Amino acid sequence: MNELRSSAGAMARGAASTAAVLVRSTLGSADGRSLTRRYRSRADHWTFMFAQITGYSFVVLVLTGVFLTFYFDPSMARAPYDGPYEPLRGVPVSRAYDSTMELSFEVRGGLLMRQVHHWAALIFCASIALQLLRLFFTGGFRRPRLLNWLIWVGLFTLGMVASLTGTILPDDMLSGGSLLLTKGVLESIPVVGTHLQRFVFDGDFPGEVIIGRVYWLHVLVLPLAIGGALAHRRRLMVRQHGHTRFAPGSAARRLGSHHVTRLRAAIVDAPKPASIAMFLYTCGVLALLGGFVQINAIWQYGPFEPGAITAGAVPGWYMAFLDGAVRIMPGWELDVVGHPLTLAVLVPAIVVPGAFFTALALWPLGEAIVTGDRAEHHVLDRPRDRPARTGAGAAGIAFYGLLWLAAANDQIALNFHLDLFAVTWFFRVAVFAGPVAAFVVANRICHHLTRRERQVAVHGRETGRIVMDAQGRFTELHTRPAADPLAELDSPEHRLLADTLKE
């Protein structure tokens, strides 16, 4: 009997040792890093690189901007151009335009710095937009990350304003078009519009001070605001709520908010060598774009002349949706108590973007109220698992994209030999019908994908192999989906064993 008991005890100790090895190999070491090995590889998921690119693009913007400030003169005083560009020799230009031309043709590396700076601004805004899309479709804005979401929405707005003010500084024909649009938007504001326009331009348009005012806004106020927002966002991520993460397969449903407290310390940033490599890669791509892809060639546009505009000119991609909204808006104007109310500018340039960004900022609160979900979430959703949210995101993309395309309605009509009014009316209809169609299609795709997953979970995956049984009946072979290695480890017994190993 004693031998039998000793044998049973040895078997129990062996089983416990085997289980310990299994848990250690799967969960990680016993120094507080439980369940890290599976999720450490998910802490630097490729979609997280958008935030890194945003920060690294901002660093490039600051470095190149410091270089440019040593040579740029934000004065609107005019004098004949006497630089090396022969077609403009003798043409009256402002000091802002002349110093930009000097940067482009006379300062060693000046044109490269200008173009790298411009490309960095475009990629900065693009990476913020992609980060917002990633956060939206995966639910990364939910509690406790509402403030993080608001920071990203604010960064996108600040990035648009910073890029717009940078476009205005050279005082060329393209920047003059932006100034004309700004003047029209200010004047369309009821009651105070005219006074606000005269305050901004210090009198009649374009005045003598607008470049200087925009200069200090561009080089001091906006960079400090953007840098502060990025630093605060970093502090929130490191010290408070940590990284979100993608959970593979069914583990996403098992490792919910009630497991995150134990796992939060395990989710770390991407390895430092990877971050350094991403920074160098971002700098390299921007250097290549600045060296080989020409952008904002102000010598081809010429200096700004009030009352003139460059044919075929369009704004940067980040402002194109505003230009498109203005182009397709009917020329409505009302007379209210003897004061004209220009809806043709007020609605597309102020009401539409204001409503769009307000809805974007308040979406997390609205979703929490509608769904009643106020729990903390640290595991990201798959878009297919939230069909209503995914459909709404697709509708927003369609709305934004159609306005973006409408900014080129004249170029579309010219290159495809279409009637300009027909193209404009197409966008007027599509901007309402397109988002509805996008919502329906995206919603149905999500439902189809989830139904197919449930069918695979019940019946297995089709193999395409047909076999005949002894009775002569033909059936198709199905393979069962692979079991999740963390599924069995998410039980009370294994959690107890993991805690025992930690002790």
Query: Residue 343 burial by CB count (10 A; 0-12/13-18/19+): exposed, middle or buried?
Result: middle
DSSP E strand boundaries for 180-338:
333-336
Place of tokens 């979609």: 47
Cα separation, 140 vs 144, whole angstroms: 9
Residues in Cβ contact with 231 at an 8 Å cutoff, skipping those fewer than 6 apart: none
Predicted pLDDT at 340: 78
Chain-centroid distance of CA 219 in Å reads: 23
The 10s digit of each residue's pLDDT in 22-57 is: 334 344 443 434 443 344 434 456 777 899 999 999
Number of Cβ atoms within 10 Å of the Cβ of 33? 16
Higher pLDDT, 124 or 188: 124
- Could you tell me if 76 and 208 are in contact, meaning their C-beta atoms sit under 8 angstroms apart? yes
The 10s digit of each residue's pLDDT in 87-112 is: 999 999 999 999 999 999 999 999 99
Q: Averaged over 285-294, what is the pLDDT?
A: 96
Name the strand (E) or helix (H) holding 181: helix 173-188
Tokens of 443: 């919603």
Cα separation, 19 vs 6, whole angstroms: 20
The DSSP 8-state label assigned to residue 47 in this structure reads G
pLDDT over threshold 70, residue 64: yes
According to DSSP, the residues that pair with 468 across neighbouring strands are: 474
Give the angle 239-243-246 at the CA atoms, nearest 5°: 165
Closest CA to 166 of 228, 102, 119: 119
**In a 3-state reduction of DSSP, which class is residue 478?**
strand
Does this model's pTM top 0.85? no
What letters, b where the CB count within 10 A reaches 16 and e where it falls short, cover 344-375?
bbbbbbeebbeebeeebbebbeebbeeeeeee
Sign of CA dihedral 216, 217, 221, 226: negative
pLDDT over threshold 70, residue 147: yes
Predicted pLDDT at 482: 55
Q: To 10 degrees, what angle do helices 49-69 and 222-236 make?
A: 150
Cα separation, 298 vs 394, whole angstroms: 37
- Could you tell me if 153 and 132 are in contact, meaning their C-beta atoms sit under 8 angstroms apart? yes
Predicted pLDDT at 316: 81
Cα separation, 78 vs 76, whole angstroms: 6
Predicted pLDDT at 246: 74
Which range has the top average pLDDT, 10-19, 53-62, 371-380, 474-483? 53-62
Residue 357 pLDDT grade (very low, low, confident, very high; cuts 50, 70, 90): very high
Predicted pLDDT at 249: 52
Predicted pLDDT at 26: 40
Predicted pLDDT at 207: 83
The 10s digit of each residue's pLDDT in 171-206 is: 999 888 888 888 888 888 888 888 898 999 988 888
Residues in Cβ contact with 205 at an 8 Å cutoff, skipping those fewer than 6 apart: 179, 180, 183, 197, 306
- The CA-atom distances, in angstroms, between 84 and each of 94, 223, 392 are 16, 33, 54
Higher pLDDT, 117 or 254: 117
Residues in Cβ contact with 358 at an 8 Å cutoff, skipping those fewer than 6 apart: none
pLDDT over threshold 50, residue 400: yes
Cα separation, 45 vs 446, whole angstroms: 22
Cα separation, 284 vs 487, whole angstroms: 43
pLDDT over threshold 90, residue 341: no
Name the strand (E) or helix (H) holding 93: strand 92-94
Name the strand (E) or helix (H) holding 462: strand 461-468
Predicted pLDDT at 270: 56
pLDDT over threshold 90, residue 373: no
pLDDT over threshold 60, residue 2: no
pLDDT over threshold 60, residue 156: yes
pLDDT, the chain, mean: 82
User: What percent of the chain is modeled with pLDDT above 70?
Assistant: 81
Cα separation, 270 vs 45, whole angstroms: 9
